[in-house]
Amino acid sequence: MRHPGAPSPETLELLKHEFGADLLTAPKELDARSRDDSGVRLPPAAVLLARSTAQVARLLSLANERLFAVVPRGAGTGLAGGCLAETGGVVLDLSAMNRILSIDCDSVTATVEPGVLTGALRSAAKDKGLFYPPDPASLETSTIGGNAATNAGGPACVKYGTTRDYVLGLTAVLPTGEVVRTGTATRKGVVGYDLTRLLVGSEGTLGVITQLTLKLLPHPQTQRCLAAVFPGLDAAMGAVIAVMTRGHLPAAMEFLDARCLKLVGDLLPEHVRARLSGGGEALALMECDGSPDEAARGVAAIEDICRELGALAILPAPDEAAREAVWAVRRSVSTRIHEACAVYVPEDIAVPIGRIAHMVAALPEVERRFGVDIFAFGHAGDGNIHLNLTSPDEAARPRVEAAAEDCVRLALALGGTMSGEHGVGLAKRAMLPLEIEPVSLRVQRGIKGLLDPKNILNPGKLFPDDAEEVGHGA
């Protein structure tokens, strides 16, 4: 299928006239919007640095009239190429629409523009005693609009869910240029179809979000964590599951496998490191929040469960500094893999929690078969495993990519999904039919066609091109 691409030279002139200084065509501006964190580079023909919903609507109207592609973009922190102008169209940069319009303490909601950084919203809410829970790893640099477009989540998912659970209502511009308001400003609402959640997670293919009304929560008074080293991931996951089935709901439950532990073990204190050489093969990090007393009791209960289920060593974090040190171990994994390996393919499959250990146990066979190294870590509480497939040898990239596809097939066979956080974008569209069955795919394409009859909004994303589609058999 041929997708709309760059505007013609005449149309580009028209856009310059229409949008004046907000239409950017300088090489350095185009270059800055030609990449995201996927590593792919695809320069656009122009950039509209949007200032208002009306401007967004005008651009999309013109795109329909004159048939060029429009690709919405937040901060460009995505890992799937979803914000890249593959066909050379106009990038619609929403980062300048970055006002927090209100933090409403009486209604415990926030209304914001899409370019607000997620971390900035979290800070502004916290200043008023309120909490915006979704915590993608990129939260200090990614925008709330991008988070909504990709339904971003992070460690907090186990207790608090993901972005879609906090979006009450939206103002969005449909691909036709029409402005629509969806949802409500209230915490409950059951009137009509849920267009809000149809737009959330649609990766900028069904509409451009220009305003969001978000649910907030009371801010937990404190957070306390602990880490525990186990003889294997089976035992660590046993503890994770026991914590949940015995009435505790931590605010985060993370894990590192043996390979990750080896990579970052030097960051752990001596008494924990000693246990690693004595057979420590997995680390679980769990966090409780609430009143100081409640968080401390939660962590104490978790410590008991970890010891009962075979923890070799416990690393408590009695204060905020110690907590930061524990989280730093978890966070340093990605960086160190990145530094250590010439080839590095990040996958983010998710499986049912009870299958995490099965999934990780199957990895050595994949490593052996493809001659790659696989690091597994991530969110034990929601089944989302960051698999980092690596090789020291740049020439091994095709093998690493083949191994990644194999891991996706493994996750699907275990009842999982190919992506828990990163989304489809360009990166996974060829694999989509492995997970989404033909009837569903037809319905989804139908919805795209209904909302974007001229296919001008983020064309080619999400759906497989016939040419590149991966076969359905496993």
Query: Does residue 6 bind a copy of itself (CB under 8 A)?
Result: no
Query: Does residue 105 bind a copy of itself (CB under 8 A)?
Result: yes
Question: Which is closer to a copy of itself, CB of 24 or CB of 351?
Answer: 351
CA–CA separation, 60 and 83 (whole Å): 16
> Which pair of structure tokens corresponds to residue 209?
């979000």
The alpha carbon dihedral of 156, 157, 161, 167 has a sign of positive
Q: In the window 46-75, what residues touch a copy of itself (CB under 8 A)? A: none
Minimum separation from the CB atom of position 203 to a copy of itself (A): 8
Question: Which is closer to a copy of itself, CB of 253 or CB of 315?
Answer: 253
Q: What region, left, alpha or beta, does residue 274 occupy, with left being phi > 0 and alpha being psi -120 to 50 degrees?
A: alpha
Minimum separation from the CB atom of position 13 to a copy of itself (A): 30
Please check whether residue 385 is in contact with residue 363, taking contact to mean a CB–CB distance below 8 angstroms.
no
Considering only 124, 244, 413, 430, the residue that binds a copy of itself (CB under 8 A) is 244
Minimum separation from the CB atom of position 167 to a copy of itself (A): 11
Considering only 217, 328, 340, 342, the residue that binds a copy of itself (CB under 8 A) is 217
CB atoms within 10 A of CB 180: 14
Considering only 3, 51, 197, 331, the residue that binds a copy of itself (CB under 8 A) is 197
Residue whose entry in the numeric block shows the structure tokens 């649609």: 202
Q: In the window 275-314, what residues touch a copy of itself (CB under 8 A)? A: 290-291, 293-294, 297, 301
Supply φ then ψ for residue 319, to 5 degrees. -140, 175
Count of all residues that appear for the chain in the document: 474
Element (H, E) at 70: strand 70-73
Residue type, 202: S
Query: Does residue 437 bind a copy of itself (CB under 8 A)?
Result: yes
x/- map, 124-163, a copy of itself, by CB under 8 A:
----xxx-------------------xx-x---xx--xx-
Please check whether residue 226 is in contact with residue 317, taking contact to mean a CB–CB distance below 8 angstroms.
yes
Q: In the window 331-390, what residues touch a copy of itself (CB under 8 A)? A: 350-355, 379, 381-384
Q: 223, 277, 221, 280: which is closest to 255 by C-alpha?
A: 280
Question: Which is closer to a copy of itself, CB of 14 or CB of 362?
Answer: 362
Minimum separation from the CB atom of position 421 to a copy of itself (A): 6
Considering only 11, 34, 419, 455, the residue that binds a copy of itself (CB under 8 A) is 419
Question: Which is closer to a copy of itself, CB of 398 or CB of 415?
Answer: 415
Question: Which is closer to a copy of itself, CB of 373 or CB of 452?
Answer: 452
Question: Which is closer to a copy of itself, CB of 49 or CB of 462?
Answer: 462
The alpha carbon dihedral of 426, 432, 435, 441 has a sign of positive
Query: Does residue 189 bind a copy of itself (CB under 8 A)?
Result: yes
Question: Which is closer to a copy of itself, CB of 225 or CB of 264?
Answer: 225
Query: Does residue 211 bind a copy of itself (CB under 8 A)?
Result: no
Longest dimension (CA), the chain: 72
Question: Which is closer to a copy of itself, CB of 86 or CB of 421?
Answer: 421
Please check whether residue 389 is in contact with residue 376, taking contact to mean a CB–CB distance below 8 angstroms.
no
CA–CA separation, 180 and 139 (whole Å): 27
Q: In the window 9-38, what residues touch a copy of itself (CB under 8 A)? A: none
Query: Does residue 118 bind a copy of itself (CB under 8 A)?
Result: no
Question: Which is closer to a copy of itself, CB of 15 or CB of 235?
Answer: 235
Q: In this structure, what DSSP letter does residue 163 have?
A: G
Tell me the angle at which helices 397-413 and 363-370 cross, rounded to the nearest 10 degrees: 150
For residue 182, what are the β-bridge partners?
Answer: 170
